Amino acid sequence: MSVNRSSKTKTAIIKSAMELFAAHGYKGTSVRKIASKVGIRESALYNHFKNKEAIFLTVCADIFTTPFSKKNVQEDAKKGKKFLANFVVQYKLVSFDANKERLFRIMMIELLQDKTLRKNFLNEFHHHNIALLSEAFFVMMQSGLIRSSDPMFTANEFLAPLFYYRLQITLLRIDAEPTTALSTLFEKHVDFFWESVAL
Rounded distance, CA 41 to CA 55, Å?
15
The three-class DSSP label of residue 25 is: coil
113 binds DNA (CB under 7 A): no
171 binds a copy of itself (CB under 8 A): yes
195 binds a copy of itself (CB under 8 A): yes
**Which helix or strand (DSSP H or E) is residue 191 part of?**
helix 185-197
Angle at 121 between CA 70 and CA 98, to 5 degrees: 85
Q: How far is the CB of 106 from DNA (least distance, A)?
A: 15
* Residue closer to a copy of itself (CB basis): 11 or 99: 99
Q: How far is the CB of 114 from DNA (least distance, A)?
A: 15
Give how many residues touch a copy of itself by CB under 8 A.
43
Give how many residues touch DNA by CB under 7 A.
25
Count CB neighbours of 6 within 10 A.
12
**4, 27, 69, 178: residue in contact with a copy of itself (rule CB under 8 A):** 27
Rounded distance, CA 109 to CA 92, Å?
21
Q: Which does 40 bind (CB under 5 to 8 A by kind): a copy of itself, DNA, none?
A: DNA
Contact by Cβ (8 Å): 11, 32:
no
Contact by Cβ (8 Å): 46, 109:
no
* Residue closer to a copy of itself (CB basis): 1 or 176: 176
**23, 40, 57, 85: residue in contact with DNA (rule CB under 7 A):** 40
Stretch that binds a copy of itself, among 9-17, 18-26, 79-87, 89-97 (CB under 8 A): 18-26
Identify the DSSP state of 77. Answer: G
* Contact pattern for DNA over residues 44 through 83, marking x by CB under 7 A: x-xxx--xxx------------------------------
Contact by Cβ (8 Å): 102, 18:
yes
